[in-house]
Amino acid sequence: MTTTVPTQVDRVRAVAAVRELLTAVGEDADRLGLLRTPERVADLFLDLFSGLGVDPASALGAPVALTENEHPGELVGLTAIPFRSVCEHHLLPFEGTVDVYYAPVRHIAGLSRIATLVELAGRRPQLQERLGQQIADALMTVLQPHGVAVRIEATHGCISHLEPGAASARAVTVATVGTIPDATWRFASPGS
């Protein structure tokens, strides 16, 4: 598991940056309605980016070892995990659901830990494709299963804003690592 150092945050600098942005786009940052906006926006982004510098795999904790007589089945899954993140290209939100499947060998994870992994991995600016891969890699590293599959379906604020006619479009990505049993994966996949 990779050890990372939590990112140092500078709230004062973040507040000043939001104030500067407002001024740069021609707004009066001192007008009554905007007086506390720099603090509100800075605090929002500090929360949205609170996963920076934190290894997502840390959310899984210690894996649960299986005995020789235990076998949880060919596939373990947790579906429809809600998430939200921020697109690194436009700093607009994207949100949806994540389905996580893994084929255990000798270790399993608590199901709530998988949901926590999804939440922690989402708390940083990034792309949907990377989010799925980060989740899959974390599970592979900690649990060492035969394989992991992560399916994400999300709506994106940048699509809604830039292409209003496609506002209800949902982006779907699938990240896989290792091997998932074919018959089992087809059973678990949406629309099968």
Active-site position among 74, 95, 107, 158? 158
Q: Which of 87, 119, 126, 134 does the annotation list as catalytic? A: 87
- Closest alpha carbon to 127 in 162, 92, 161, 160: 92
Is position 70 annotated as part of the catalytic site?
A: no
156 is catalytic: yes
Active-site residue flag, 146:
no
Q: Which of 88, 129, 161, 163 is catalytic?
A: 88
Catalytic-role residue among 126, 128, 133, 134: 128
Q: 139 with 175: CB under 8 angstroms?
A: no
Instruction: Establish whether 158 is a catalytic residue.
Output: yes
Instruction: Give the length of the chain.
Output: 192
What's the CA angle centered on 58, arms 184 and 66, to 5 degrees? 50
88 a catalytic residue:
yes
Helices 111-122 and 128-143: crossing angle, nearest 10°? Answer: 140
Please state, in angstroms and rounded to a whole number, the distance separating the CA atoms of residues 66 and 44: 41
Active site residue 134: no
Q: Which of the following is catalytic: 70, 71, 89, 163?
A: 89
Q: Judge whether 107 counts as a catalytic residue.
A: no
Q: Which of 27, 39, 74, 90 is catalytic?
A: 90
Characterize the bridge pairing of strands 125-126 and 76-87.
Answer: parallel
So which residues are the catalytic ones? 87-90, 128, 156, 158
